[in-house]
Amino acid sequence: MKQFLYIFAFSLFLTGFSAYRLSAQQDARYSMYMFNGMYVNPAYVGSNGAPSLSAFYRKQWVNIDGAPQSISLSANTALGKRDQYGLGGIAEYDEIGVHQRITGYLAYAYRIKLPIGYLALGVQGGVQYLRSNFTDITPEEVITNPDPVFQENNSVLLPNFGLGIWFNTPHFFAGASAPHLLNNKLKDGQPDVAVVGRQFRHYLASAGVVIGAGQSLKIVPSVLVKAVPRNAPVQFDTNLSFFIKDVVWIGSSFRFEQLFNPESVNGIIGFQFKNGLRLGYAYDYTLSDLQNFTSGSHEVTLGYDIKKKAERFVTPRYF
C-alpha cells in the first residue's frame, strides 16, 4: 500500500500538487483564501494600504501517508503619496510524498484611485524549484517498479510570471488572475527523455462583499473560482462568514467540482485584534471518496497588519 501511495504521489507531482484526480488542480489550495489574497492575485498587493504580513500552514488529508502539506509566507504594502503602488513577495513550500516544491514570487501593482475605490493591475515573477527524493524510497517499495526514474533524485528550476486585475473598496472586492502563464515542461532529469508532465496555466476569479447587519455583526459572503481549461474540472469555493464585533470570525465554506459535485465542507474560526494581529483556523471535512481514508484537513493562519502613523488602531480587515 505504501509503495502504491508513493507512485500515486509521483503521478500527482508530475501533473500537480494538492489533487485527487490526475487531471486536477496543480497549485496548493487554501480554505481561508479570503485572507491570502496575494496567493490568489498579484494585483492584490497594496490593497490594504498599510504593510501586511501573513503566514499559512495546511495539512491535507490527515492519516494518508505522504498527503500534501503546504506553508506560505507573504508580505505586501502600498507605496507612494496616494498609495498608488503595491509591492510584495510570497514564498511557499509544498510537499507530497517524497516530492517538494519551493516557490518564490515578487509582485508589483499599479493602483488607480477611483471615486469609490481602487482598480489595480498587477504582475508577478519568480521561480519554482521542484525536487523528487526517490532515493528515500526503500528498495522493497520499488522492487516491482524498476523504472530508472525511481533510482535517483531529480530536481528542476522553472521560471514563471503571472498577471492580475483587482478592484476593491473598504467593503467589496473582485478580481481575476492567471498566477503563472508559462506552461513549463517537466522531465525526469534526463535530457534525452520525453516530456512526462507540464505546468498548466490556471485562471482564478474571486469576489466578496461585507454586508452590515447591525452595529455588532457583519456578513461576508465570498467566492473563488479556479479553472485549468481542458485539464481539470472547474472548482468553486464558496464561503459565508460572520464577523462579530469586529473581533471574531465564524464561517463555513463548500468546495465543488463542476458546481454540483461537492468535494469538501469546512468550518472557519478566527480572531482579529485592534493591534493588527489576526489568527485563524479551518477544518475541512472530505465529501469525496477519500473520506474513507482520511479524517479531514487542517489549516491555520497568522497575520499582522501594521497600522499607519496617523492611526490609533488598525482598521478592521475584512479580506
According to the model, what pLDDT value does residue 48 have? Answer: 84
Tens of pLDDT along the chain (319 residues) come to 344 444 444 444 444 433 333 334 457 778 888 887 888 999 999 998 889 999 999 999 888 888 889 999 999 999 988 889 999 999 999 988 888 899 999 999 999 999 999 999 999 999 999 887 777 766 555 555 555 655 667 788 889 999 999 999 989 999 999 998 888 776 555 554 444 566 788 899 999 999 988 889 999 999 999 988 877 778 899 999 999 998 999 999 998 876 677 888 999 999 999 888 999 999 999 888 778 888 889 999 999 998 776 666 566 677 7
pTM value > 0.95? no
In whole angstroms, what is the distance from residue 140 CA to residue 11 CA? 19
Cα(73)–Cα(282) distance, integer angstroms: 17
Question: What distance in Å separates the CA atoms of residue 166 and residue 91, rounded to the nearest whole number?
Answer: 21
Per-residue model confidence (pLDDT) at position 109? 97
Q: What integer pLDDT is reported at residue 53 of this predicted model?
A: 94
Those residues whose C-beta lies under 8 Å from the C-beta of residue 303, and which sit 6 or more positions away, are 35, 52, 53, 54, 55, 277, 278, 279, 280
Residue 191 backbone class (left: φ over 0; alpha: ψ -120 to 50; beta: rest): alpha
Strand intervals (E) in the chain: 52-59, 69-79, 85-96, 99-114, 117-132, 154-169, 172-178, 185-186, 197-198, 203-209, 211-212, 217-227, 235-244, 248-257, 261-272, 277-286, 297-305
Question: What CATH number was assigned to the domain covering residues 2-305?
Answer: 2.40.160.40
Given a contact cutoff of 8 angstroms between Cβ atoms, the answer to whether 104 and 89 are in contact is yes
